[in-house]
Structure 1
Amino acid sequence: MASLPAPAPWSTPLPAADPPRGMAIFQLPTGTYETRAAFAVQGGSFREKRNFAATAVLLMHPQGDFLIDAGFGEHVAEHVKLLPRVVRAPHQAGSTARQQLQRAGYDLERLRGVILTHSHWDHAGGLDSLPVPIWINAAERKYAATDAAGKVFRVVSSDHGIHEYTFDDHAYLGFPKSLDVFGDGSMVIALAGGHTTGSVVVFVTLPSSERYAFIGDITWQLDGIQRRLERPWLLRKLADSDAAQVRQGILRVASLNELMHVIPAHDVHAYDGIPLLPADMSQ
């Protein structure tokens, strides 16, 4: 096991952001699936089992709300059957994102869409019960339409509107292209690539000045960032479209680790500081 070389810490001022009062984020855990640490990160033990999160994040903003990823769907068992047998794993499904939102009295008309960090099944499955537009870039849309790993996405997205967003050429925290969704710096989508061709990092800045980086599957677990560890060799071959680009993403995020909350999509404990939905959001 060899860590990637330590990058220089980010030393220039963080990008300006003016998040509005009332902006907030909440986690919506929809279930987990089980894998061995040896398959999660280089040097992991085969004896250690890890629960991988399938969690959506609700971002509330006066200009409209978004989900970052959708988690498991109502038909998660059928979605698992669509996967190659080699990647199927025991899973435990909880309430879907839609069920949690409805139980909290959230008005679904507020949702402008679901921004996918990428189109794999454990990020997109919850679209099967969320009648909102899918925000996706052209590279990821093409990947999802043609790659074998996009089979679940193709099923759950068939009756959805697609908002195909485009990046500008402004670099953001080391990533070469980005999109400032609201124009106030509070949520910026940055092109990462590597895991899938159009995979992204979603950067969020709250009114409290807390910053988050939702990094999708650049790494599956926090120790991949903290210790700069890639996926095991076989998993890089099976799971990533460009391992060198993923390696670059790990180093970019590692340089930011002391400046913001880094959230790998499948690390259960990375979400610990993000609140659950309030009991009643109807007021």
Structure 2
Amino acid sequence: MSSLAIPDAWTGALPTANPPAGVNVYHLPTGTYETRAALAVQGGSFRDKRPFAASAVLVRHPKGDLLIDAGFGADLSQHMAMLPWYMRSPHQAGRTAAEQLDAVGYDRGRLIGVVPTHTHWDHTSGLDSLHGTPVWLNPAERRHAADEPDSKVFRQVSRHHEIHSYDFGSGPYLGFPASHDVHGDGSIVIVLAAGHTAGSVIVFVTRPSGERYAFVGDLTWQLDGIRHRVERPWLMRKFADKDPASVREGLLRMISLNDLIQIVPAHDLAAYDGIPHLTSGVSS
């Protein structure tokens, strides 16, 4: 296993954030699919079979809620059939994000959008059940989604969704050169972290308690990438990443922040520890 060089820890002040009361974060697990650790991180074992999470994250905010990613959808079998044969892993489907929202009486009118960290199938399949909710894409990811084979499922499930385009006009954020402050109070900040796809993003969330989260999508598939400073295996970098060098740069930035922020790779179940699931008490 070849670890990356240890980056300098972040020593500057954390960005100012003034999240209002009511900002909170909930994990909506929609299922898992099986991946061998040897294909996920350098140094992983072929004997180690990892249950890769497919999840959505609900961020509540008085000015409007967002979903980060959409997880598995109701038509999951159809979506998996659209994938190349070598990507059809054994999987277990749970309740869709839409079913979990409806089960607690959540008013979906509060949702101002779904922000995919990128437009791969396992982050967007659940859009098929989130009718009427806008999908937020930056221009680079919108172009990627329109042309690339790896966004075929996204093109199908997003056909009847409004696409809300956003840019990165809020300046640098924690070492990333460009950001978008969703509500203008620092509680939800989207940064461009291109490399896995052309417009991949990280979503930073700050709660009123001061707890901070970084939902990093597929910057790394597992927390091993952060804790052991390892990239995907060479073959998977060539296969899965649009620009492996940019992914490495983003990974090093996040490693430097590991002691300050709860970093959540989308596919690591353990990374969601401490983030509650939805219950009926949070529907209003």
Do these two structures clear the TM 0.5 threshold for a shared fold by scoring above it?
A: yes
Residue type at the aligned position of 2:21: R
Are 2:41 and 1:36 equivalent residues in the alignment?
no
Identity of matched residues, %: 61
Residue type at the aligned position of 1:193: A
Which residue does 2:183 correspond to in 1? Answer: 182
- In 1, Cα distance between equivalents of 2:107 and 2:179: 29
Which residue does 1:143 correspond to in 2? Answer: 144
Unaligned runs of 5+ in 1: none
Which residue does 2:216 correspond to in 1? Answer: 215
1:207 partner SS:
coil
Deviates further, 197-206 or 77-86 = 77-86
| Residue 279 of structure 1, CA deviation | 2.7
Alignment: residue pair count: 283
Query: Would you say the 8 A contact 2:170–2:181 is kept in 1?
Result: no
Which residue does 2:75 correspond to in 1? Answer: 75
| Residue 169 of structure 1, CA deviation | 6.0
Residue type at the aligned position of 2:240: A
Query: Would you say the 8 A contact 1:119–1:140 is kept in 2?
Result: yes
- In 2, Cα distance between equivalents of 1:172 and 1:282: 32
Which residue does 1:108 correspond to in 2? Answer: 108
Unaligned runs of 5+ in 2: none
Query: Would you say the 8 A contact 1:169–1:176 is kept in 2?
Result: no
- In 2, Cα distance between equivalents of 1:145 and 1:275: 35
Cα distance per residue 1:37-81 (max 9 Å; x no partner): 000100100011000000100000000001000000001111111
Cα distance per residue 1:217-266 (max 9 Å; x no partner): 00000010111100001100110000000000110000000001000000
The RMSD of aligned alpha carbons is 0.8
Residue type at the aligned position of 2:233: P
Q: How does 1:18-37 map to 2 (within 5 A)?
A: 18-37=18-37
Q: How does 1:175-254 map to 2 (within 5 A)?
A: 175-254=176-255
Which residue does 2:271 correspond to in 1? Answer: 270
| Residue 282 of structure 1, CA deviation | 4.2
Cα distance per residue 1:127-161 (max 9 Å; x no partner): 00102000010100110110010000000000100
Query: Would you say the 8 A contact 1:4–1:229 is kept in 2?
Result: yes
Cα distance per residue 1:194-228 (max 9 Å; x no partner): 00010000000000100000000000000101111
Residue type at the aligned position of 2:52: F
Query: Would you say the 8 A contact 1:195–1:246 is kept in 2?
Result: yes
Q: Structure 1 residues 195 and 282 mapped into 2: Cα distance closer, same or farther (>3 Å)? A: closer
- In 2, Cα distance between equivalents of 1:56 and 1:136: 16
| Residue 280 of structure 1, CA deviation | 4.1
Query: Would you say the 8 A contact 1:186–1:205 is kept in 2?
Result: yes
What is the TM-score normalised by the length of structure 2? 0.98
Deviates further, 63-72 or 164-173 = 164-173
Residue type at the aligned position of 1:97: A
Query: Would you say the 8 A contact 1:214–1:265 is kept in 2?
Result: yes
| Residue 272 of structure 1, CA deviation | 1.3
- In 2, Cα distance between equivalents of 1:129 and 1:277: 17
- In 1, Cα distance between equivalents of 2:197 and 2:242: 5
| Residue 87 of structure 1, CA deviation | 1.6
1:79 partner SS:
helix
What is the TM-score normalised by the length of structure 1? 0.99
| Residue 278 of structure 1, CA deviation | 1.3
Q: Which runs of 4+ in 1 moved over 4 A?
A: none
- In 1, Cα distance between equivalents of 2:227 and 2:75: 34
- In 2, Cα distance between equivalents of 1:56 and 1:128: 13
Deviates further, 161-170 or 10-19 = 161-170
Residue type at the aligned position of 2:11: S
Which residue does 1:167 correspond to in 2? Answer: 168
Cα distance per residue 1:65-110 (max 9 Å; x no partner): 0100000000111111111112220110000000000001101111
Query: Would you say the 8 A contact 2:138–2:167 is kept in 1?
Result: yes
Query: Would you say the 8 A contact 2:192–2:202 is kept in 1?
Result: yes
Are 2:154 and 1:153 equivalent residues in the alignment?
yes
Residue type at the aligned position of 2:272: Y
Cα distance per residue 1:5-60 (max 9 Å; x no partner): 00000000000000000111100000000010000100100011000000100000
2:113 partner SS:
strand
